[in-house]
A and B are shown apart, each in its own frame.
Chain A
Amino acid sequence: MSFNRLEADDFVVSADSITAGIFTDSQIPTITTFFTSSTQRTSNSGDYYLNVFSNAATSSLEFAVTYGNELGSGSQAYNLDVDGKSPSSTVYGQYRTLVLGDENADFTFGSITSSDFWAVSMERSRYKESIFPGSTTLLLRGPDGVISLTDNSQVASSVVFNDAGRVFQLVSGSAGTVFTTLESNGYSIDSGSYGLFLPDIATYILNPRALSNDEADGGIGLDATLTSALTATDSPNLNTIFTAITHSNASSFTANSEETITSDFVFVRPRSSQFNYSENPSFISGSTGEVLYSSFINAPTTYITTVGLYNDTNELLAVAKLSKPLEKDFTKEALVRVKLDF
Protein backbone atom coordinates (compact mmCIF):
# COMPACT_ATOMS: atom_id res chain seq x y z
CA MET A 1 0.00 0.00 0.00
CA SER A 2 1.23 3.47 -0.84
CA PHE A 3 -1.39 5.58 0.92
CA ASN A 4 -2.02 6.01 4.63
CA ARG A 5 -5.15 7.54 6.07
CA LEU A 6 -4.73 10.64 8.21
CA GLU A 7 -6.57 10.75 11.52
CA ALA A 8 -8.31 13.73 13.08
CA ASP A 9 -5.40 14.13 15.50
CA ASP A 10 -3.05 14.65 12.57
CA PHE A 11 -4.55 18.06 11.73
CA VAL A 12 -4.05 21.30 13.63
CA VAL A 13 -5.28 24.69 12.41
CA SER A 14 -3.45 27.76 13.67
CA ALA A 15 -3.88 31.47 13.00
CA ASP A 16 -0.90 33.75 13.59
CA SER A 17 -0.59 37.51 13.28
CA ILE A 18 2.35 38.56 11.12
CA THR A 19 3.63 42.13 11.15
CA ALA A 20 6.15 43.71 8.79
CA GLY A 21 7.23 47.07 7.49
CA ILE A 22 4.39 48.58 5.50
CA PHE A 23 6.38 50.13 2.70
CA THR A 24 7.86 48.70 -0.50
CA ASP A 25 10.86 47.24 1.27
CA SER A 26 9.01 45.42 4.03
CA GLN A 27 12.22 44.93 6.01
CA ILE A 28 12.45 48.67 6.58
CA PRO A 29 9.38 50.16 8.31
CA THR A 30 10.36 53.77 7.63
CA ILE A 31 10.54 55.87 4.48
CA THR A 32 12.20 59.27 4.43
CA THR A 33 11.86 60.34 0.82
CA PHE A 34 8.60 61.17 -0.90
CA PHE A 35 7.83 61.75 -4.56
CA THR A 36 4.75 62.48 -6.63
CA SER A 37 4.11 61.81 -10.29
CA SER A 38 3.70 64.88 -12.49
CA THR A 39 1.67 62.74 -14.87
CA GLN A 40 -0.77 61.73 -12.17
CA ARG A 41 -0.81 65.21 -10.63
CA THR A 42 -1.94 66.80 -13.91
CA SER A 43 -4.42 64.09 -14.79
CA ASN A 44 -8.08 64.04 -13.78
CA SER A 45 -7.25 61.98 -10.68
CA GLY A 46 -4.88 64.77 -9.57
CA ASP A 47 -7.95 66.86 -8.72
CA TYR A 48 -8.87 64.27 -6.10
CA TYR A 49 -5.67 62.79 -4.73
CA LEU A 50 -1.91 62.65 -5.09
CA ASN A 51 -0.09 59.35 -5.24
CA VAL A 52 3.07 59.37 -3.12
CA PHE A 53 6.08 57.22 -3.95
CA SER A 54 9.16 56.45 -1.90
CA ASN A 55 11.49 56.76 -4.85
CA ALA A 56 11.37 57.75 -8.49
CA ALA A 57 10.15 54.34 -9.60
CA THR A 58 6.41 54.12 -10.12
CA SER A 59 6.49 50.65 -8.60
CA SER A 60 7.17 52.24 -5.22
CA LEU A 61 3.66 53.64 -4.69
CA GLU A 62 3.19 53.85 -0.93
CA PHE A 63 0.08 55.89 -0.23
CA ALA A 64 -2.21 58.62 -1.52
CA VAL A 65 -3.15 61.91 0.10
CA THR A 66 -6.47 63.64 -0.41
CA TYR A 67 -8.56 66.45 0.97
CA GLY A 68 -12.26 66.46 1.77
CA ASN A 69 -14.50 69.43 2.49
CA GLU A 70 -18.20 69.19 3.14
CA LEU A 71 -18.88 72.48 1.33
CA GLY A 72 -16.63 71.72 -1.62
CA SER A 73 -14.22 74.46 -0.62
CA GLY A 74 -10.57 74.22 -1.52
CA SER A 75 -11.03 72.80 -4.98
CA GLN A 76 -12.54 73.96 -8.21
CA ALA A 77 -16.29 73.51 -8.73
CA TYR A 78 -17.37 70.98 -11.33
CA ASN A 79 -19.73 73.59 -12.72
CA LEU A 80 -19.41 77.28 -11.99
CA ASP A 81 -23.19 77.54 -11.86
CA VAL A 82 -23.38 75.01 -9.01
CA ASP A 83 -21.64 75.94 -5.79
CA GLY A 84 -20.47 73.36 -3.27
CA LYS A 85 -19.88 70.51 -5.69
CA SER A 86 -16.22 69.91 -6.30
CA PRO A 87 -13.67 67.12 -5.90
CA SER A 88 -13.25 68.03 -2.23
CA SER A 89 -16.98 67.59 -1.55
CA THR A 90 -16.93 64.30 -3.43
CA VAL A 91 -14.02 63.09 -1.30
CA TYR A 92 -15.76 64.25 1.86
CA GLY A 93 -18.90 62.34 0.98
CA GLN A 94 -16.88 59.29 0.00
CA TYR A 95 -15.10 59.09 3.35
CA ARG A 96 -18.21 60.02 5.29
CA THR A 97 -20.00 57.04 3.78
CA LEU A 98 -16.99 54.79 4.24
CA VAL A 99 -16.11 55.76 7.79
CA LEU A 100 -19.30 57.11 9.39
CA GLY A 101 -21.96 55.35 7.33
CA ASP A 102 -24.34 58.25 7.87
CA GLU A 103 -24.78 61.14 5.44
CA ASN A 104 -25.84 63.40 8.31
CA ALA A 105 -22.86 62.67 10.56
CA ASP A 106 -19.74 64.77 10.95
CA PHE A 107 -16.19 63.73 11.59
CA THR A 108 -15.37 64.09 15.27
CA PHE A 109 -11.78 64.42 16.42
CA GLY A 110 -11.66 64.01 20.18
CA SER A 111 -14.78 66.00 21.02
CA ILE A 112 -14.50 68.52 18.17
CA THR A 113 -16.42 68.10 14.90
CA SER A 114 -14.97 69.23 11.61
CA SER A 115 -16.29 69.81 8.13
CA ASP A 116 -13.00 69.09 6.39
CA PHE A 117 -10.02 66.76 6.66
CA TRP A 118 -6.92 65.48 4.99
CA ALA A 119 -6.68 61.73 4.49
CA VAL A 120 -3.70 59.47 3.98
CA SER A 121 -4.74 56.18 2.41
CA MET A 122 -2.13 53.41 2.25
CA GLU A 123 -1.55 51.38 -0.91
CA ARG A 124 -3.45 48.10 -0.70
CA SER A 125 -0.55 45.77 -1.50
CA ARG A 126 1.56 47.40 1.23
CA TYR A 127 -0.68 47.01 4.23
CA LYS A 128 -1.76 43.38 3.63
CA GLU A 129 -4.82 43.30 5.95
CA SER A 130 -4.43 46.32 8.20
CA ILE A 131 -1.99 48.74 9.78
CA PHE A 132 -0.54 47.44 13.01
CA PRO A 133 -1.79 49.76 15.81
CA GLY A 134 0.96 51.42 17.80
CA SER A 135 3.49 51.28 14.98
CA THR A 136 2.87 54.66 13.35
CA THR A 137 5.16 57.67 13.51
CA LEU A 138 4.31 60.40 11.00
CA LEU A 139 6.31 63.63 10.97
CA LEU A 140 4.56 66.72 9.63
CA ARG A 141 6.10 70.14 9.20
CA GLY A 142 4.17 73.41 8.97
CA PRO A 143 5.09 77.09 9.18
CA ASP A 144 5.15 76.88 12.99
CA GLY A 145 7.21 73.75 13.44
CA VAL A 146 7.24 69.99 13.30
CA ILE A 147 4.96 67.48 14.96
CA SER A 148 5.27 63.76 15.38
CA LEU A 149 1.99 61.87 15.27
CA THR A 150 1.10 58.39 16.42
CA ASP A 151 -2.07 56.59 17.45
CA ASN A 152 -3.32 56.21 21.01
CA SER A 153 -3.99 52.46 20.77
CA GLN A 154 -1.54 51.68 23.55
CA VAL A 155 -3.24 53.96 26.10
CA ALA A 156 -6.87 53.81 25.00
CA SER A 157 -8.92 52.16 27.71
CA SER A 158 -11.24 50.55 25.18
CA VAL A 159 -11.40 50.10 21.44
CA VAL A 160 -14.00 52.16 19.63
CA PHE A 161 -15.56 50.86 16.43
CA ASN A 162 -17.40 52.59 13.60
CA ASP A 163 -18.33 51.64 10.04
CA ALA A 164 -14.64 51.41 9.15
CA GLY A 165 -13.74 49.07 12.01
CA ARG A 166 -11.43 50.06 14.83
CA VAL A 167 -10.93 53.78 15.47
CA PHE A 168 -8.07 55.36 17.39
CA GLN A 169 -7.16 59.01 17.84
CA LEU A 170 -4.06 60.46 16.24
CA VAL A 171 -2.07 62.18 18.98
CA SER A 172 1.31 63.73 19.57
CA GLY A 173 3.74 60.88 20.02
CA SER A 174 5.92 58.27 18.42
CA ALA A 175 5.46 54.55 17.73
CA GLY A 176 2.47 54.30 20.03
CA THR A 177 4.01 56.33 22.87
CA VAL A 178 1.92 59.40 23.62
CA PHE A 179 3.72 62.69 24.34
CA THR A 180 1.94 64.38 27.25
CA THR A 181 3.72 67.74 27.22
CA LEU A 182 0.65 69.61 25.99
CA GLU A 183 -2.13 67.51 27.49
CA SER A 184 -2.23 64.12 29.15
CA ASN A 185 -4.15 62.71 26.20
CA GLY A 186 -1.63 63.98 23.62
CA TYR A 187 -3.75 66.67 21.99
CA SER A 188 -5.47 69.96 22.74
CA ILE A 189 -8.99 69.57 24.05
CA ASP A 190 -10.03 72.80 22.33
CA SER A 191 -9.06 71.81 18.81
CA GLY A 192 -9.51 68.08 19.09
CA SER A 193 -7.15 65.25 18.30
CA TYR A 194 -4.87 65.42 15.29
CA GLY A 195 -7.08 62.97 13.50
CA LEU A 196 -8.39 59.44 13.36
CA PHE A 197 -6.41 56.29 12.78
CA LEU A 198 -8.46 53.62 11.02
CA PRO A 199 -6.21 50.55 10.88
CA ASP A 200 -8.73 48.23 9.25
CA ILE A 201 -9.05 50.39 6.15
CA ALA A 202 -5.41 51.56 6.42
CA THR A 203 -6.35 55.22 6.52
CA TYR A 204 -5.30 58.24 8.56
CA ILE A 205 -7.82 61.12 8.70
CA LEU A 206 -6.07 64.36 9.70
CA ASN A 207 -7.82 67.21 11.49
CA PRO A 208 -6.91 70.57 9.87
CA ARG A 209 -8.09 72.52 12.89
CA ALA A 210 -5.60 70.88 15.25
CA LEU A 211 -2.78 71.18 12.76
CA SER A 212 -3.52 74.86 12.09
CA ASN A 213 -2.91 75.86 15.71
CA ASP A 214 0.29 77.64 16.52
CA GLU A 215 3.08 75.75 18.20
CA ALA A 216 2.10 76.82 21.72
CA ASP A 217 -1.29 75.21 21.24
CA GLY A 218 0.14 72.03 19.84
CA GLY A 219 -0.21 72.81 16.14
CA ILE A 220 2.20 73.54 13.31
CA GLY A 221 0.32 76.38 11.63
CA LEU A 222 -0.74 74.18 8.73
CA ASP A 223 -3.79 75.86 7.24
CA ALA A 224 -6.09 74.32 4.69
CA THR A 225 -7.17 76.61 1.88
CA LEU A 226 -10.88 77.17 2.22
CA THR A 227 -11.50 79.15 -0.95
CA SER A 228 -15.05 78.66 -2.22
CA ALA A 229 -15.46 76.06 -4.94
CA LEU A 230 -16.71 78.79 -7.26
CA THR A 231 -13.50 80.78 -7.05
CA ALA A 232 -10.92 78.05 -6.42
CA THR A 233 -8.69 77.35 -9.39
CA ASP A 234 -7.05 74.08 -8.42
CA SER A 235 -6.65 71.72 -5.44
CA PRO A 236 -4.03 73.46 -3.29
CA ASN A 237 -4.72 71.39 -0.20
CA LEU A 238 -3.26 68.26 -1.77
CA ASN A 239 0.01 70.06 -2.18
CA THR A 240 -0.21 71.46 1.35
CA ILE A 241 -0.35 68.05 3.02
CA PHE A 242 2.24 66.54 0.68
CA THR A 243 4.60 69.41 1.48
CA ALA A 244 3.98 68.94 5.20
CA ILE A 245 4.95 65.29 4.94
CA THR A 246 8.00 65.75 2.77
CA HIS A 247 9.38 69.05 4.04
CA SER A 248 10.12 68.29 7.63
CA ASN A 249 13.83 68.49 8.43
CA ALA A 250 13.92 64.76 8.92
CA SER A 251 10.87 63.74 6.94
CA SER A 252 9.84 60.33 8.04
CA PHE A 253 6.85 58.00 7.95
CA THR A 254 6.93 54.74 9.91
CA ALA A 255 4.29 52.04 10.14
CA ASN A 256 3.89 48.27 10.11
CA SER A 257 1.42 46.13 8.23
CA GLU A 258 -0.44 43.31 9.88
CA GLU A 259 -2.00 40.15 8.48
CA THR A 260 -3.36 36.95 9.89
CA ILE A 261 -1.92 33.82 8.34
CA THR A 262 -4.07 30.76 8.80
CA SER A 263 -1.94 27.66 8.75
CA ASP A 264 -3.00 24.07 8.47
CA PHE A 265 -0.53 21.75 10.13
CA VAL A 266 -0.61 18.15 8.98
CA PHE A 267 1.37 15.61 11.00
CA VAL A 268 2.54 12.73 8.85
CA ARG A 269 3.59 9.65 10.84
CA PRO A 270 5.09 6.75 8.89
CA ARG A 271 5.32 3.77 11.27
CA SER A 272 8.28 1.45 11.58
CA SER A 273 6.69 -1.24 9.43
CA GLN A 274 5.55 1.15 6.71
CA PHE A 275 7.15 2.68 3.64
CA ASN A 276 10.28 0.55 3.73
CA TYR A 277 10.22 -0.42 0.06
CA SER A 278 10.26 1.79 -2.98
CA GLU A 279 8.91 1.84 -6.52
CA ASN A 280 11.94 3.91 -7.51
CA PRO A 281 13.41 2.26 -10.63
CA SER A 282 16.89 2.41 -9.08
CA PHE A 283 15.59 0.33 -6.14
CA ILE A 284 14.83 -2.48 -8.55
CA SER A 285 17.33 -4.61 -10.42
CA GLY A 286 16.30 -6.12 -13.73
CA SER A 287 12.93 -6.35 -15.42
CA THR A 288 11.32 -8.85 -13.05
CA GLY A 289 11.29 -6.58 -10.02
CA GLU A 290 14.12 -7.96 -7.85
CA VAL A 291 15.34 -5.49 -5.26
CA LEU A 292 18.69 -3.89 -6.01
CA TYR A 293 20.70 -5.44 -3.18
CA SER A 294 20.10 -8.75 -1.46
CA SER A 295 20.37 -6.95 1.87
CA PHE A 296 17.23 -4.99 0.93
CA ILE A 297 15.14 -8.17 1.13
CA ASN A 298 15.15 -8.33 4.93
CA ALA A 299 16.64 -4.95 5.81
CA PRO A 300 15.49 -2.48 3.18
CA THR A 301 16.46 1.15 3.51
CA THR A 302 14.53 3.91 1.79
CA TYR A 303 14.96 7.68 1.80
CA ILE A 304 11.97 9.99 2.15
CA THR A 305 12.32 13.15 0.09
CA THR A 306 8.72 14.05 -0.61
CA VAL A 307 5.42 13.99 1.26
CA GLY A 308 2.24 14.02 -0.81
CA LEU A 309 -1.14 14.97 0.65
CA TYR A 310 -4.13 13.49 -1.16
CA ASN A 311 -7.92 13.56 -1.11
CA ASP A 312 -10.16 10.49 -1.19
CA THR A 313 -9.85 10.14 -4.93
CA ASN A 314 -6.04 10.03 -4.72
CA GLU A 315 -5.66 13.47 -6.25
CA LEU A 316 -2.44 15.13 -5.13
CA LEU A 317 -3.51 18.38 -3.42
CA ALA A 318 -0.30 19.50 -1.74
CA VAL A 319 3.26 18.39 -1.68
CA ALA A 320 6.13 18.96 0.73
CA LYS A 321 9.80 18.49 0.03
CA LEU A 322 12.28 17.76 2.79
CA SER A 323 15.53 19.69 2.70
CA LYS A 324 17.51 16.47 2.94
CA PRO A 325 16.66 12.79 2.50
CA LEU A 326 15.27 11.13 5.61
CA GLU A 327 16.42 7.56 6.14
CA LYS A 328 13.67 5.01 6.80
CA ASP A 329 13.87 1.32 7.62
CA PHE A 330 12.10 -1.25 9.78
CA THR A 331 13.73 0.20 12.92
CA LYS A 332 12.76 3.81 12.34
CA GLU A 333 9.61 5.86 12.62
CA ALA A 334 9.30 9.45 11.45
CA LEU A 335 7.16 12.45 12.22
CA VAL A 336 6.98 15.14 9.59
CA ARG A 337 5.08 18.34 10.24
CA VAL A 338 3.77 19.92 7.05
CA LYS A 339 2.58 23.51 7.28
CA LEU A 340 0.18 24.81 4.65
CA ASP A 341 -0.48 28.55 4.66
CA PHE A 342 -3.71 30.04 3.32
Chain B
Amino acid sequence: MGYLNNSVVTVDAILTTKGRELLAKNDGSFRITQFALADDEIDYTLYNPTHPSGSAYYGQAIENMPLLEAFPDETQIMKYKLTTLPRGTAKMPILDVGYTNIVIKQGASLAITPQTLNYLGGNQNEASGYTATISDVRLLSTFEGVGIDSPQTNALNVNSTTTLGTNVSATVVGTTINLRATTVNTLFGANTALYATMTIVGRDSGARLQVPITITKVS
Protein backbone atom coordinates (compact mmCIF):
# COMPACT_ATOMS: atom_id res chain seq x y z
CA MET B 1 0.00 0.00 0.00
CA GLY B 2 1.20 3.51 -0.71
CA TYR B 3 0.00 7.00 -1.41
CA LEU B 4 -0.26 8.38 -4.91
CA ASN B 5 1.63 11.55 -5.81
CA ASN B 6 -1.10 14.19 -5.88
CA SER B 7 1.00 17.09 -7.12
CA VAL B 8 -0.30 16.18 -10.57
CA VAL B 9 -3.52 14.42 -11.49
CA THR B 10 -2.77 10.91 -12.62
CA VAL B 11 -4.69 7.67 -12.92
CA ASP B 12 -3.24 4.50 -11.45
CA ALA B 13 -4.92 1.52 -13.12
CA ILE B 14 -4.62 -2.17 -12.30
CA LEU B 15 -6.49 -5.38 -13.05
CA THR B 16 -8.39 -6.77 -10.10
CA THR B 17 -7.98 -10.31 -8.88
CA LYS B 18 -11.28 -11.14 -10.57
CA GLY B 19 -10.09 -9.44 -13.75
CA ARG B 20 -6.92 -11.54 -13.84
CA GLU B 21 -8.96 -14.67 -13.18
CA LEU B 22 -11.32 -13.95 -16.07
CA LEU B 23 -8.44 -12.95 -18.34
CA ALA B 24 -6.79 -16.29 -17.61
CA LYS B 25 -10.03 -18.16 -18.34
CA ASN B 26 -9.95 -16.72 -21.85
CA ASP B 27 -13.67 -17.44 -22.29
CA GLY B 28 -14.70 -13.95 -23.36
CA SER B 29 -15.81 -12.88 -19.89
CA PHE B 30 -12.98 -10.35 -19.69
CA ARG B 31 -14.74 -7.71 -21.74
CA ILE B 32 -15.06 -4.22 -20.37
CA THR B 33 -18.48 -2.87 -21.27
CA GLN B 34 -19.41 -0.42 -18.53
CA PHE B 35 -17.98 1.76 -15.83
CA ALA B 36 -18.89 3.03 -12.42
CA LEU B 37 -17.40 5.73 -10.22
CA ALA B 38 -16.79 5.61 -6.50
CA ASP B 39 -15.72 7.96 -3.75
CA ASP B 40 -13.91 5.47 -1.52
CA GLU B 41 -11.85 7.23 1.19
CA ILE B 42 -13.98 10.41 1.08
CA ASP B 43 -15.47 11.61 4.37
CA TYR B 44 -18.20 14.11 3.51
CA THR B 45 -18.28 15.42 7.06
CA LEU B 46 -15.07 17.22 6.04
CA TYR B 47 -17.11 19.19 3.52
CA ASN B 48 -17.91 22.55 5.08
CA PRO B 49 -20.86 24.41 3.49
CA THR B 50 -20.45 27.18 6.07
CA HIS B 51 -16.80 27.90 5.39
CA PRO B 52 -16.21 31.59 6.20
CA SER B 53 -14.11 32.11 3.06
CA GLY B 54 -16.96 31.14 0.75
CA SER B 55 -18.08 28.35 -1.53
CA ALA B 56 -14.69 27.96 -3.20
CA TYR B 57 -13.42 26.59 0.08
CA TYR B 58 -16.28 24.25 1.01
CA GLY B 59 -14.37 21.21 -0.22
CA GLN B 60 -10.90 22.39 0.74
CA ALA B 61 -10.34 19.63 3.30
CA ILE B 62 -11.26 16.96 0.76
CA GLU B 63 -9.74 18.25 -2.47
CA ASN B 64 -6.14 18.20 -1.29
CA MET B 65 -6.19 14.84 0.40
CA PRO B 66 -3.70 12.24 -0.88
CA LEU B 67 -5.28 8.98 -2.01
CA LEU B 68 -4.10 5.43 -1.53
CA GLU B 69 -3.12 3.26 -4.45
CA ALA B 70 -5.71 0.88 -5.85
CA PHE B 71 -6.32 -2.47 -4.13
CA PRO B 72 -6.53 -5.49 -6.44
CA ASP B 73 -9.11 -7.20 -4.21
CA GLU B 74 -12.41 -6.33 -5.89
CA THR B 75 -14.24 -6.64 -2.58
CA GLN B 76 -12.12 -3.91 -1.02
CA ILE B 77 -12.53 -1.23 -3.64
CA MET B 78 -15.45 0.50 -5.37
CA LYS B 79 -17.28 0.16 -2.09
CA TYR B 80 -19.23 3.39 -2.26
CA LYS B 81 -20.48 4.11 -5.75
CA LEU B 82 -21.61 7.44 -7.08
CA THR B 83 -25.13 7.26 -8.40
CA THR B 84 -27.22 9.15 -10.89
CA LEU B 85 -30.38 10.45 -9.32
CA PRO B 86 -32.77 13.29 -10.19
CA ARG B 87 -31.80 16.71 -8.94
CA GLY B 88 -33.66 17.48 -5.73
CA THR B 89 -33.18 14.03 -4.23
CA ALA B 90 -33.42 14.44 -0.47
CA LYS B 91 -33.05 10.82 0.54
CA MET B 92 -30.52 8.36 -0.80
CA PRO B 93 -31.47 4.78 -1.67
CA ILE B 94 -30.67 2.45 1.21
CA LEU B 95 -31.03 -1.31 1.50
CA ASP B 96 -33.22 -3.11 3.95
CA VAL B 97 -33.02 -6.87 4.38
CA GLY B 98 -35.03 -7.03 7.57
CA TYR B 99 -32.02 -7.98 9.66
CA THR B 100 -29.20 -6.09 11.26
CA ASN B 101 -27.56 -9.33 12.32
CA ILE B 102 -28.32 -12.76 10.88
CA VAL B 103 -28.12 -15.71 13.26
CA ILE B 104 -28.80 -19.19 11.82
CA LYS B 105 -28.60 -22.51 13.57
CA GLN B 106 -26.45 -25.21 12.01
CA GLY B 107 -28.38 -26.80 9.13
CA ALA B 108 -31.18 -24.18 9.19
CA SER B 109 -32.29 -22.22 6.13
CA LEU B 110 -33.14 -18.58 5.57
CA ALA B 111 -34.37 -16.62 2.56
CA ILE B 112 -33.45 -12.95 2.34
CA THR B 113 -35.37 -10.60 0.08
CA PRO B 114 -33.64 -7.22 0.00
CA GLN B 115 -35.61 -4.06 -0.63
CA THR B 116 -34.34 -0.66 -1.65
CA LEU B 117 -35.83 2.25 0.21
CA ASN B 118 -36.08 5.75 -1.28
CA TYR B 119 -35.44 4.46 -4.78
CA LEU B 120 -37.28 5.78 -7.85
CA GLY B 121 -39.92 7.39 -5.73
CA GLY B 122 -40.54 4.66 -3.22
CA ASN B 123 -39.52 1.38 -1.67
CA GLN B 124 -39.08 -1.41 -4.16
CA ASN B 125 -37.09 -4.37 -5.39
CA GLU B 126 -34.51 -3.42 -7.97
CA ALA B 127 -35.16 -4.76 -11.46
CA SER B 128 -31.59 -6.02 -11.90
CA GLY B 129 -31.60 -7.64 -8.47
CA TYR B 130 -28.96 -7.65 -5.82
CA THR B 131 -25.44 -8.94 -5.57
CA ALA B 132 -24.70 -10.84 -2.37
CA THR B 133 -21.17 -11.76 -1.35
CA ILE B 134 -20.47 -14.06 1.58
CA SER B 135 -16.99 -13.66 3.01
CA ASP B 136 -16.58 -17.37 3.81
CA VAL B 137 -18.73 -19.69 1.72
CA ARG B 138 -17.74 -22.73 3.80
CA LEU B 139 -20.25 -21.58 6.41
CA LEU B 140 -23.16 -22.23 4.07
CA SER B 141 -24.16 -25.48 2.43
CA THR B 142 -26.55 -23.50 0.21
CA PHE B 143 -25.88 -20.01 -1.05
CA GLU B 144 -27.91 -19.10 -4.10
CA GLY B 145 -29.60 -16.18 -5.74
CA VAL B 146 -32.95 -16.61 -7.44
CA GLY B 147 -35.40 -14.35 -9.24
CA ILE B 148 -33.24 -12.94 -12.02
CA ASP B 149 -33.28 -15.07 -15.12
CA SER B 150 -30.75 -13.85 -17.64
CA PRO B 151 -27.86 -15.67 -19.31
CA GLN B 152 -25.28 -13.39 -17.64
CA THR B 153 -26.75 -13.78 -14.18
CA ASN B 154 -27.21 -17.52 -14.54
CA ALA B 155 -23.58 -17.83 -15.60
CA LEU B 156 -22.49 -15.78 -12.60
CA ASN B 157 -24.52 -17.94 -10.23
CA VAL B 158 -23.06 -21.14 -11.68
CA ASN B 159 -19.53 -19.81 -11.38
CA SER B 160 -20.17 -18.78 -7.81
CA THR B 161 -20.22 -22.42 -6.73
CA THR B 162 -16.57 -22.78 -7.73
CA THR B 163 -14.06 -22.33 -4.94
CA LEU B 164 -10.53 -21.73 -6.14
CA GLY B 165 -7.44 -22.01 -3.97
CA THR B 166 -7.69 -19.92 -0.85
CA ASN B 167 -10.49 -17.75 -2.16
CA VAL B 168 -13.43 -18.81 -0.04
CA SER B 169 -15.75 -15.89 -0.73
CA ALA B 170 -18.65 -16.34 -3.13
CA THR B 171 -21.03 -14.03 -4.92
CA VAL B 172 -24.55 -14.66 -6.21
CA VAL B 173 -27.16 -12.48 -7.86
CA GLY B 174 -30.91 -12.51 -7.39
CA THR B 175 -33.92 -10.80 -5.93
CA THR B 176 -33.96 -13.41 -3.17
CA ILE B 177 -30.88 -14.89 -1.56
CA ASN B 178 -31.28 -18.39 -0.11
CA LEU B 179 -28.97 -19.47 2.69
CA ARG B 180 -28.60 -22.77 4.48
CA ALA B 181 -26.09 -23.05 7.28
CA THR B 182 -23.45 -25.76 7.06
CA THR B 183 -23.91 -29.08 8.81
CA VAL B 184 -20.18 -29.77 8.90
CA ASN B 185 -19.11 -30.02 12.54
CA THR B 186 -15.39 -29.97 11.88
CA LEU B 187 -15.53 -26.35 10.79
CA PHE B 188 -16.46 -25.32 14.29
CA GLY B 189 -13.55 -26.98 16.04
CA ALA B 190 -13.90 -26.08 19.70
CA ASN B 191 -16.07 -23.04 18.91
CA THR B 192 -19.82 -22.85 19.34
CA ALA B 193 -20.33 -20.35 16.53
CA LEU B 194 -18.86 -19.35 13.19
CA TYR B 195 -18.85 -15.79 11.89
CA ALA B 196 -18.85 -14.17 8.45
CA THR B 197 -20.21 -11.09 6.74
CA MET B 198 -22.55 -10.78 3.81
CA THR B 199 -22.33 -7.72 1.59
CA ILE B 200 -25.41 -6.88 -0.44
CA VAL B 201 -25.31 -4.34 -3.24
CA GLY B 202 -28.26 -3.08 -5.29
CA ARG B 203 -27.30 -3.66 -8.91
CA ASP B 204 -29.22 -0.62 -10.10
CA SER B 205 -28.91 1.82 -7.22
CA GLY B 206 -25.44 0.91 -5.99
CA ALA B 207 -26.76 0.99 -2.42
CA ARG B 208 -24.70 -1.23 -0.17
CA LEU B 209 -25.31 -3.02 3.10
CA GLN B 210 -23.10 -5.29 5.13
CA VAL B 211 -24.70 -7.73 7.54
CA PRO B 212 -22.86 -9.94 10.02
CA ILE B 213 -23.78 -13.64 9.93
CA THR B 214 -23.46 -16.04 12.86
CA ILE B 215 -23.84 -19.81 12.48
CA THR B 216 -24.48 -21.46 15.85
CA LYS B 217 -23.50 -25.04 16.51
CA VAL B 218 -26.38 -27.37 17.33
CA SER B 219 -24.63 -30.37 18.77
Contacts and interface: CB of A to CB of B under 8 A. Distances in A.
Interface of A: 1-6, 11, 264, 266, 268, 270, 273-284, 287-293, 295, 297-298, 300-328, 330, 336-340
A122 B89 CA distance: 64
Contact of B22 (A2, A3, A315): A315
Contact of B90 (A266, A291, A311): A291
Contacts of B5: 323
Contacts, number: 275
Contact of B33 (A264, A295, A308, A311): A311
B52 to A, nearest CB: 16
Interface of A is mostly: strand
Given A2-B81, A317-B19, A318-B19, A292 B70 contact: no
Given A277-B89, A323-B5, 10 more contacts: A275-B82, A307-B37, A308-B35, A308-B81, A312-B152, A316-B18, A317-B16, A319-B74, A323-B12, A324-B66
Contacts of B168: none
Contacts of A6: 32-35
Given A301-B47, A330-B87, A268 B39 contact: no
B38 A317 contact: no
Interface in B63-88: 63-72, 74, 77-78, 80-85, 87-88
Contacts of B65: 324-325
B84 A338 contact: no
Interface of B: 4-6, 8-16, 18-19, 22-23, 29-45, 47, 49, 58-59, 62-72, 74, 77-78, 80-85, 87-94, 117-118, 131, 152-153, 155-156, 173, 203-208
A275 B13 contact: no
B34 to A, nearest CB: 5
The 4 A-B residue pairs with the shortest CB-CB distance in the complex, in nearest-first order: A2-B206, A317-B19, A275-B82, A320-B13
Given A279-B208, A327-B63, A337 B39 contact: no
Interface of B is mostly: loop
A313 B67 contact: no
B29 A311 contact: yes
Nearest to B72: A319
B62 to A, nearest CB: 6
A319 B94 contact: no
Contact of A273 (B44, B77, B84): B84
A207 B9 CA distance: 53
Contact of B16 (A266, A277, A305, A319): A319
